[in-house]
Every structure is written in C-alpha cells, then in structure tokens.
Amino acid sequence: MSTKAKILVVGLNHKSAPVEVRERLAFDTPKVCEALGRLREEFKKDEFVLLSTCNRVEVYCACGANSGTNAELLIEFLSAFHDVALRDFRQCLYVHEDENAVRHLLMVASSLDSMVVGEDQIIGQVKESYRVACGAKTTGKVLNRLFHCSFATAKKVHTETAISIGRVSVAGVAVELAKQLFADISRARVTVIGAGETGELIVQHLLHEGCQDITILNRSFERGRGMARRYGVAAGAWEKLGKYLREANIAIASAGCQHYLFGKAQLTEVLANRREGALLIIDIAVPRNFEPAINEMDDVYLYSVDELAEVAEQNRRVRESEITRGMQIVYDSAGNFMDWFRSREIGSLIGQMKKEFDQMSQKELERFFVGSRENAPCKDVAEAMVRRIVSKLSHCVIKNVDAVAKEHGPAEAARLVDSILEQARQISSETEEQRPNSN
C-alpha cells in the first residue's frame, strides 16, 4: 500500500489501440455516470474523472495517502464494467503517475495528444467530463485544481502558438480525405449522419469546399432540421437513411450509438438498386456506425476514424515547430502544478518521518532491554534520554527541510523528506531482519 498521495491515469487512445478495441471500452454519458458511481462506492477516499471520446478512454484518479488504489485495480475495473477480458486490451493500455500523469492531461486538453493536433473539440470534451464528475461528486481538491490547470494550459497553448491554424478537427480531416478520394467534391451528393458538434463541423468544411448538395440526417429530426436551416442545406428523416445512402456519392457518419447502423448484409440489400456508382463512406464515430465488413462490398469504400491517420500526420508535420512551443508550455504548467501538489505532502511526510524515527528508537530500546537487562533500574532514564535525542535530531532535520523549502521550493523539500523517510524505513527493515542475530 502506498503511503504517498499520487495521481494516476490509466487509458488507451488512437495511438495505442485500434478502433475495434476503443469502441468496446467507450462510455456514453449514462455509462460515465454509472461508472463514476461505482468508483465512488468502491474507492471511497479517492477522486475520479472519466474521459471517453472517439479517440481515447482514460480514467484519472487522485489517490490519498495510504490509499490502496493502484493502476491494476483501475484496469480490472474497466474490464469488469465493460465485461471485456483483460487479455483483449491490456497490451493497448498506458499508465502514467504523478508528473507524467499531469503532463498527459495537459497535453490532451491542449490537443497536443490528439490525432489532429490543434483541434479544439477536445477541450470541450475534457470540460464536459470534468463537469459530469463534479455532478457525480467524484472530484476533490486535487482533481479540481488539476483540471482547471488543464483548461488554463490549453488556452495558453492555443493563444501563444499557431497549432490551430488550418484544418484542425477530425471532421476537417474527414472532408480532406473525401476531397482527396473524390474527383470533384463540390459536385458530390453528400449525406451527413449525425447532427452533433462533429456533424456541424463536417457541414462547415463541406460548404467551405463548395459542396452544394448536402443532406443532414439525425435521430431527432428537429435538431437535424435546425442545423440544416442554419447552413442552408437539406434535412432528411432518419427512417429514410437507407434511401439517402442509395442516392449519395459520399456519406460521413458521426452518430452516437452502441450498435452498427448498417451491417454488410443490410447495406447490400439497401444498395441493391443503386445507380450512382461508387459510394464513399467515412465513419468517424466510436463506437462505429458501419460494420467493417462493408468494405468488402463492390463499389463501396469504407474508411474508419483510424484510417484518417495519414492525412492527420500531414497536418502534424506542418505544425511541428508549434508543437514544440506548446510542449514547453505544458511542461512549465505541469511543473508548477507538481510544486503545489508536493508541497501539500510536507506536513504529512514530516509526521510519518517522526513516527518512523520514534518506532526505530523504540525497537532499539526493546532489543537492548532484554534478558537480564529487562528490569534494569536505568531503563526509564535511558528511554527518556533516547526520546530526547530523537526529538532533537528530528528538529535538526526539520530545520534543514525548511531551509531547502525556502531556497529550492516546497516540492524539493517534499522530495527530501520522502527520501529520508524511505531510508528510515529501509534501516528499520534491516534492523528487523538482524534481530535474531543480535541477542
């Protein structure tokens, strides 16, 4: 069991796990709330935020001193909650602790860890995840401060660098891919599936490319029609999705659902009388909207979010120097946060150190006053003398810790106390092992 407070992140993303793994571990909002509730019950003393997007699933945890929570327990929680065997995703996971965990969140919020560097959707998703966790009462002093630090860092990165210039969203990259694969995208008949934030970005990028024949389909027709009116495009009824696919040249899907909208057999039947030539489907939803086997169909070309990677990499290369500047901002912010985080531990660590010193002195006294010396007249005097010596030595150590804090900052002082505490525990352990040989 750890005796130090710590920050953990356990997760997987587009770089570590394919979409077929990510979609099995993805959380929609109701599942996030349910999972946070279970975490609150199972790990009562710790703080949690769950972040689930099309490209990542991550659990952020702030563990108190003496908490039994560790990365393995969180991994097992993910497995049990989604009923997915550990062997199916363990190799895709990453685990970060303390400053590495802080840097990771700051990179995520600043879009430096995104498939499309510079995209601004992720900060909204991070804020929403934090809002939901606050509502579920699974955050506290540490994660509250950490997530607000991530918001401020993201703002600074986007303000002080040029990473947001150009096409910087998954939606934009999807349209860029369609543009590369379709001879004249401005003449294409395009069906946009889903009227959420991503769907709206898709429409914006299509219009920027000169597309004139765009139809939005959404489960809520009113929402789809509202978006269509804002952009001067058409809206279709959800139940006629098959008809619109049959007539489309391009379909770009980002609808939120837990099951495929179309399997191979179903789409084969829908497209049986199609006369429009090839159909390009770009599925950027997670979980996916279209069964992967659809790509085996004649004249149907299906791309998932993971297959946008090459276009996204072109985007990244253009921003390489800006990414370096953004990373420096992240490292500076993470360092400042860790100074605060470690400074919180000094009082607790000093208390633990003094307790360890007292236990060591007591063990030594017990080892000395055995056998014929057990009832020695000087025992009480010796015990009092040893306690005074230990108290004075502890005071000397604390004065040096205060000096380090003033000269090098509280984080360095906390590291010093932690180092002394670990050495004291090691010495105490060695003494225990030697006890049989000392009598």
Topology of the domain comprising 6-165: Beta Polymerase; domain 2 (3.30.460)
- Give the pLDDT of residue 167: 54
Buried b (16+ CB within 10 A) or exposed e, 230-242: eeebbbbeeeebe
Selected catalytic residue, list 54, 61, 149, 211: 54
Q: What is the mean pLDDT of each run of 10 residues along the chain (439 residues)?
A: 80 95 94 96 95 96 88 97 96 97 97 89 95 96 96 95 76 88 90 94 94 95 96 96 94 91 94 86 94 93 88 76 92 91 74 82 83 80 84 82 77 80 80 48
The structure's pTM equals 0.75
- Give the pLDDT of residue 2: 52
CA–CA dist 103, 152 (Å, integer): 13
Compute how many other C-beta atoms are within 10 angstroms of the C-beta atom of residue 264: 18
- Give the pLDDT of residue 126: 97
CA–CA dist 22, 15 (Å, integer): 11
- Give the pLDDT of residue 122: 93
- Give the pLDDT of residue 168: 61
CA–CA dist 316, 247 (Å, integer): 35
Alpha helix locations (H) across 344-409? 346-368, 379-408
Chosen CATH of 170-309 out of 3.40.50.720, 3.40.640.10, 3.40.50.300, 3.60.21.10: 3.40.50.720
β-pairing verdict for 279-283 and 250-253: parallel
Going from N- to C-terminal start, the domains of the chain cover 6-165, 170-309
Residue found under tokens 């793994």: 21
Q: Is 334 exposed, middle or buried (0-12, 13-18, 19+ CB in 10 A)?
A: buried
- Give the pLDDT of residue 169: 80
CA–CA dist 285, 385 (Å, integer): 71
> What is the DSSP secondary-structure string of 295-334?
GGSTTEEEEEGGGGHHHHHHHHHHTHHHHHHHHHHHHHHH
Please give the biggest Cα pair distance in the chain: 107
Catalytic (active site) residue 54: yes
51 three-class SS: strand
Backbone angles phi, psi at 274, to 5 degrees: -70, 140
